[in-house]
Amino acid sequence: MLTANKLLAQGQGLSPALLKRAATVELDWDVRQKSRFSATDSQGRQLAIFLPRGQAVRGGDVLVAEDGSLIRVLAAKQKVLRITACAQHGSPFDLMRAAYHLGNRHVPIELQPDHLKIEPDHVLADMLRAMHMMVEAADLPFEPEGGAYGGHVTNDGHSHHGHGHSHGHGHAHDH
């Protein structure tokens, strides 16, 4: 069994040629949110992953094995609920309102400009439909937000953890 205990967020610093040659491992969110798990990569190798406690693995991250080999992580398709505002009667504000109510319930949620994704839950689906949201079951990759204090990586690959940003309005924010 090959052990990997190092993670490069989004393959940071690696050349595209190295990333292209790397083995892959396709994992759903239930596995990727754990810091210790086993998996089989695209080359058929058994992997034992040991990361610092609390470190989630994201699609696009690269694991470094003890022998120096690279394993690119792919977010596997899994059952999710895809939530959108009603095209005929809704507005973008409805999607924001739905995200607020889901966040109040501490539900892992993936935020996209035109939709939300959550893990299947019939009670939440009913609540969202009562809010006039469109809720459809789908098989899609799931990348929930890391949380305000989780040092999450955004879709553009930038980490927003532990440094201030100047937003051009006279003061900095410490993310």
**Residue whose pair of structure tokens reads 């990997």 in the numeric block:** 4
pLDDT score, position 148: 58
The answer to whether 2-75 and 77-141 have equal CATH topology is no
DSSP letter string, 48-72: EEE--TT----TT-EEEETTS-EEE
- Do residues 98 and 116 make contact, with C-beta atoms less than 8 angstroms apart? yes
Fold of 77-141: Alpha-Beta Plaits (3.30.70)
Domains in the chain: boundaries: 2-75, 77-141
CB 119, CB 108: distance < 8 Å: yes
The torsion angle over the Cα atoms of residues 76, 79, 110 and 90, rounded to 10 degrees, is 140
Tens-level pLDDT at each residue, the chain (175 residues): 999 999 999 999 999 999 999 999 999 999 999 999 999 999 999 999 999 998 999 999 999 999 999 999 999 999 999 999 998 888 889 999 999 999 999 999 999 999 999 999 999 999 999 999 999 999 999 999 986 555 444 334 444 434 444 444 444 444 4
- The predicted model scores a pTM of 0.79
pLDDT of residue 11: 96
- Domain spanning 2-75: which superfamily? Urease metallochaperone UreE, N-terminal domain (2.60.260.20)
* Alpha-carbon 69 to chain mean position: 24
Q: What is the pLDDT of residue 90?
A: 86
Beta carbons within 8 Å of 116's beta carbon, 6+ residues apart: 82, 83, 84, 95, 98, 99, 102, 109, 110
